C-alpha cells in the first residue's frame, strides 16, 4: 500500500510540482548569486602602487631659524622626504573662495600655504599635497607611512635647507579637523604636512579624513 502511494506521489511530482521545485531551485540560485555578488563587491579592490624608492638626503647648506623676525627666511621651493621617496617642487597655495585651503593643481607637486610661516622660520609652516589622482598615486601617497623621527627637507629659494624631524603622524575626520593644532601659532620652527586619507566617499568624490604630519626643525 505504502509503496503504491509513493509511486503515485512520484508521478504527481514529475507533473506539476516539478515546476514548483524548479522555481525554488532557480530562486535560491538567483538569491545565492545575488548574495555572492553583494559579498564580492563589498570586498575592496585595492589598487597597487609601484614599489617604494627611498631617496638619498639632499645636500646643501642647512640653515636653522633666525631668532627674530620672519622675513629673513627665503621662500620654499622644493620638498624631499627620503624615507617615503618624495621629491617634489612646491607651488604657492592660498584660499578658495569659500575659505578652504587651495590644493595643488597637479598631484605631482606639493604646495606651501602662503598664509602660513615660511618653513624654517618661527611658526607652523603648512604644506599640502595629494594622496592620489583619479588614476594613480599622488605626491603624498605614502605620507601616512612616515615614522616618527623621519627627516623632511625643505629647500628654499636661496639654496639653503630647512631640516625637520617628524614628531606625530595622525589622521583626523575632515569634519573634526584640528585647525588650531595645524594652523595655530607655535613658538618654534615647525612643519605640517597634509594629505587625504581614510575612506573615499564615491558620492562626493572626496576622502573623509586628512592625514597630518607634525614635524619640528632639527637644530
Partner 1 sequence: MRFTKFARRIILLAALPLLLLAIPAASVVTASAATGTGWIRLAHLSPNTPAVDVYLYSFGDSSAQIVLHHVAYGTVSPYEQVPAGDYTVAMRAAGAVATSAAVISASVDVAPGHAYTVAGLGPESGLRLQVLDDQLSTPSGQAVVRIIQASLKQSVVSVKWGSDTLQSSLKFGAVSSYQTVTAGTATLTVSGGGDNATASVPLAAGTVHTLVVLDGTNGLQIDNLLDAAGSGVDPAGGAGTGFGGMAPHGPSSPLPWLAAVGAGLLLAVGGGLRLRSRRAPAAAAGRHQRVPAARS
CB of 77 to partner 1, least distance (A): 20
How many CB atoms are located within 10 Å of the residue 13 CB? Answer: 12
Cβ distance to partner 1 smaller for residue 159 or 178: 178
Cβ distance to partner 1 smaller for residue 59 or 121: 121
Cβ distance to partner 1 smaller for residue 96 or 159: 96
Cβ distance to partner 1 smaller for residue 47 or 56: 47
Q: For residue 165, what are the contacts with CB-CB under 8 A and spacing of at least 6?
A: 149, 150, 151, 152, 215, 216, 217, 218
Residue located via cell numbers 609652516: 125
CB of 56 to partner 1, least distance (A): 26
Q: Are 152 and 164 in contact (CB under 8 A)?
A: yes
CB of 175 to partner 1, least distance (A): 8
CA angle 88/169/216 to nearest 5° reads 70
CB of 123 to partner 1, least distance (A): 3
Residue 175 has φ and ψ, to the nearest 5°, of -80, 0
Query: Element (H or E) spanning 181, and its range?
Result: helix 179-183
Amino acid at each position: 500500500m505504502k509503496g503504491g502511494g509513493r509511486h503515485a506521489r512520484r508521478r504527481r511530482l514529475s507533473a506539476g510540482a516539478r515546476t514548483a521545485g524548479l522555481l525554488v531551485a532557480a530562486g535560491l540560485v538567483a538569491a545565492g548569486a545575488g548574495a555572492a555578488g553583494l559579498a564580492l563587491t563589498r570586498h575592496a579592490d585595492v589598487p597597487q602602487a609601484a614599489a617604494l624608492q627611498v631617496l638619498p638626503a639632499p645636500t646643501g647648506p642647512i640653515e636653522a631659524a633666525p631668532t627674530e623676525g620672519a622675513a629673513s627666511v627665503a621662500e620654499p621651493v622644493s620638498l624631499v622626504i627620503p624615507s617615503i621617496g618624495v621629491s617634489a617642487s612646491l607651488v604657492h597655495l592660498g584660499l578658495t573662495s569659500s575659505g578652504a585651503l587651495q590644493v595643488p593643481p597637479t598631484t605631482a607637486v606639493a604646495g606651501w600655504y602662503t598664509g602660513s610661516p615660511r618653513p624654517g622660520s618661527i611658526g607652523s609652516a603648512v604644506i599640502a599635497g595629494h594622496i592620489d589622482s583619479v588614476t594613480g598615486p599622488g605626491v603624498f601617497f605614502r605620507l601616512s607611512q612616515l615614522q616618527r623621527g623621519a627627516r623632511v627637507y625643505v629647500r628654499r629659494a636661496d639654496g639653503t635647507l630647512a631640516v625637520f624631524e617628524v614628531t606625530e603622524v595622525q589622521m583626523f575626520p575632515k569634519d573634526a579637523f584640528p585647525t588650531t593644532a595645524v594652523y595655530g601659532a607655535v613658538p618654534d620652527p615647525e612643519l605640517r604636512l597634509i594629505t587625504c586619507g581614510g575612506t573615499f566617499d564615491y558620492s562626493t568624490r572626496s576622502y573623509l579624513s586628512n592625514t597630518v604630519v607634525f614635524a619640528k626643525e632639527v637644530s
